[in-house]
Amino acid sequence: MPLSPASTEWQTRVIDSLRSARPTLWAGRSDAEHSSQVIDAAQVQQAVERFERFAPLLARLFPELQVAGGRIESALQPVPQMQRSLQLPEQMGRLWLKADHSLPVAGSIKARGGVHEVLEYAERIALQHGLLADGDYRKLASDAARAVFARYQVAVGSTGNLGLSIGVMASALGFKAVVHMSADAKDWKKQRLRARGVQVVEHAGDYAQAVAAGRALADQDPHCHFVDDEHSLSLLLGYAAAAPYLAAQLARNRLVVDESHPLFVYLPCGVGGAPGGVALGLQQAFGPHAHCFFAEPVQSPCFMVEMLSGAAALPGLGAHPSVYDLGLDNRTEADGLAVPQASQLAADVVRGFLGGVFTVEDETLFRHLALLQGSEGLQIEPSAAAGFGGPHALLDSAAGQDYLKRQKLQAHMANATHIVWTTGGLFVPDEEYARFLARGRDLLR
Ligand SMILES: *Cc1c(COP(=O)(O)O)cnc(C)c1O
């Protein structure tokens, strides 16, 4: 008799595998579950409309957005060579890639959530000060508007891409922008921010301490908005706003999503806000026919741990465990994904419909980074490669096969669309990328 994914024996197997840092798939959607009630479609629609209202202003502030009319978006492209390189048979569907590694302004998926949160804050202040009386958002680039924004500060704690996105967007509007970083954050990221007039505060100790220090400073100042990666609804809605545009891209490519044409989406996961937001948007667009799987490093499976928390097989770990509680060290080269504890907001949002979570070894990230460069000529960062392990994690494991069976998908796999979401890479310096690539090629030999 097959084990139910909710059974203690099944959970014990998953947790043993996680503890020993082996690549693991946990598949969700047990029968009792249902769709998300936490956030409704109107809230996502408001984020979509906010991006639309700001598009004329963004086109003015960022010359690279002019061709797209101020829209911050990425391509959806087929990657048949990569599909061959991964030895993914066509009877299992076709492989596509959502190219957020090339997103303008921030160079990563953080351009969605981070920009949205800064725009929402800017809109609130602009309305308070009567700057939008005629509804012309381009006026927010005027000296008068910038003088108002200059009295306010936007702060964030981040070792990397979130800091880049918030810092660049906030300073472009004229806000004072402060990014709290841990001392070990990459130099090029600090330099890039400082070149844009962003204040970079370096903290001894790790990421969690940088965030806590930044939040404490911001809390004392009513003219300061602190972007809270672990709890922010605005970030999550900014990510969710990707879904309607992706739905239009799928339609333009005549890719049907329904009961007999399943959509699988593989998303790199840190705290879970980015993949959680996207998954929410896709659930609202396609209901149960969108199957989202989150990808985490084997040493940082915080989202999977959060999904398993409360499991009978995890006694004594409490309600909101971290990867340290499982004896893992949270050390990975995928710096965007090195997070010990998940966002509870993201977890609550996706718990009812998430397809699953899988873990990937760092070496696999580098191999896939190099395979993508060799097959399709695309440059991504290690974190952004995490999704490429998804199709095989699903197709080659007992847990994955069980999921396909429970969801009645086995007969429809030839019609499946698999989208790997490549989440960052545009601004990685050439020398650094060359090192990533060399490491991946070495592993492929
Ligand atoms: C931040 C980030 C993610 C994950 O986003 P979370 O909201 O932390 O889950 C994935 N990939 C890259 C490149 C990132 O920078």
Interval 256-268: pLDDT, tens: 999 999 999 999 9
Ligand 1 binding pocket includes 423 (Cβ within 6 Å): yes
- How far is ligand 1, taken at its centre, from the CA of residue 423, in Å? 7
Ligand 1 binding pocket includes 382 (Cβ within 6 Å): no
Positions in the chain whose pLDDT score sits under 70 = 1-6, 31-37, 206-207, 210, 310-316
Beta bridge partners of 226: 155
Hey, what long-range contacts does 189-195 have (CB within 8 A, 24 or more apart)? 189/159, 189/160, 189/163, 189/164, 192/164, 192/427, 193/163, 193/164, 193/167, 193/168
Interval 266-299: pLDDT, tens: 999 999 999 999 999 999 999 999 999 999 999 9
Question: CA 425 to CA 368: how far, in whole Å?
Answer: 14
Protein residue whose Cα sits closest to atom 11 of ligand 1: 423
Ligand 1 binding pocket includes 383 (Cβ within 6 Å): yes
- How far is ligand 1, taken at its centre, from the CA of residue 269, in Å? 6
- How far is ligand 1, taken at its centre, from the CA of residue 424, in Å? 8
- How far is ligand 1, taken at its centre, from the CA of residue 66, in Å? 26
Ligand 1 binding pocket includes 5 (Cβ within 6 Å): no
Ligand 1 binding pocket includes 340 (Cβ within 6 Å): no
pTM of the model: 0.96
Same fold yes or no, 8-41+67-106+236-444 and 109-231: yes
Instruction: Burial-class residue 217 by CB neighbours within 10 Å (0-12, 13-18, 19+).
Output: middle
Ligand 1 binding pocket includes 167 (Cβ within 6 Å): no
**CA distances to 57, 62, 81, 122, 219 from 173, in Å:** 10, 11, 41, 8, 22
Given this model, what pLDDT does residue 271 score? Answer: 95
- How far is ligand 1, taken at its centre, from the CA of residue 147, in Å? 33
Protein residue whose Cα sits closest to atom 8 of ligand 1: 270
Question: CA 345 to CA 328: how far, in whole Å?
Answer: 23
Hey, what long-range contacts does 6-11 have (CB within 8 A, 24 or more apart)? 6/30, 6/32, 8/311, 8/312, 8/313, 9/313, 10/399, 11/308, 11/311, 11/312, 11/313, 11/314
Is residue 350 within 8 A of residue 26, CB to CB? The reply is no
**Domain 8-41+67-106+236-444 in this protein, CATH class:** alpha beta
Which atom of ligand 1 lies closest to the CA of 235? 7
- How far is ligand 1, taken at its centre, from the CA of residue 372, in Å? 19
- How far is ligand 1, taken at its centre, from the CA of residue 243, in Å? 17
Ligand 1 binding pocket includes 439 (Cβ within 6 Å): no
- How far is ligand 1, taken at its centre, from the CA of residue 52, in Å? 24
- What is the 3-class SS of the chain, one letter each residue? CCCCCCCHHHHHHHHHHHHCCCCCEEECCCCCCCCCCCCCHHHHHHHHHHHHHHHHHHHHHCHHHCCCCCCCCCCEEECHHHHHHCCCCHHHCEEEEECHHHCCCCCECHHHHHHHHHHHHHHHHHHHCCCCCCCCHHHHHCHHHHHHHCCCEEEEECCCHHHHHHHHHHHHHCCEEEEEEECCCCHHHHHHHHHCCCEEEEECCCHHHHHHHHHHHHHCCCCEEEECCCCCHHHHHHHHCHHHHHHHHHHHCCCCCECCECEEEEEECCCCHHHHHHHHHHHHHHHHHEEEEEEEECCCCHHHHHHHCCCCCCCCCCCCCCHHHHCCCCCCCCHHHCCCCCCHHHHHHHCCCCCEEEEECHHHHHHHHHHHHHHHCCCCCHHHHHHHHHHHHHHCCHHHHHHHHHCCCHHHHHHCEEEEECCECCCCCHHHHHHHHHHHHHHHC
Is residue 243 within 8 A of residue 284, CB to CB? The reply is yes
Is residue 417 within 8 A of residue 42, CB to CB? The reply is no
Given this model, what pLDDT does residue 36 score? Answer: 57
Which of 98, 108, 335 is the pocket-test mutation for ligand 1 (most atoms within 8 Å of CB)? 108
217: Cβ contacts below 8 Å, ≥ 6 apart: 155, 180, 224
* Sheet-wide strand order for 25-27: 25-27, 356-360, 290-297, 263-268, 417-421, 94-98, 76-78
**Domain 109-231 in this protein, CATH class:** alpha beta
Ligand 1 binding pocket includes 106 (Cβ within 6 Å): no
* Amino acid at the residue 224: C
Instruction: Burial-class residue 377 by CB neighbours within 10 Å (0-12, 13-18, 19+).
Output: exposed
Which atom of ligand 1 lies closest to the CA of 272? 9
Which of 383, 420, 427, 436 is the pocket-test mutation for ligand 1 (most atoms within 8 Å of CB)? 383
What are the structural domain ranges in the chain? 8-41+67-106+236-444, 109-231
Ligand 1 binding pocket includes 109 (Cβ within 6 Å): yes
Give, in degrees to the nearest 5, the angle at Cα 278 between 276 and 284: 100
- How far is ligand 1, taken at its centre, from the CA of residue 160, in Å? 10
Ligand 1 binding pocket includes 101 (Cβ within 6 Å): no
Given this model, what pLDDT does residue 23 score? Answer: 97
Given this model, what pLDDT does residue 309 score? Answer: 85
Given this model, what pLDDT does residue 320 score? Answer: 87
Which of 109, 349, 436 is the pocket-test mutation for ligand 1 (most atoms within 8 Å of CB)? 109
Question: CA 307 to CA 293: how far, in whole Å?
Answer: 12
- How far is ligand 1, taken at its centre, from the CA of residue 306, in Å? 17
Given this model, what pLDDT does residue 1 score? Answer: 42
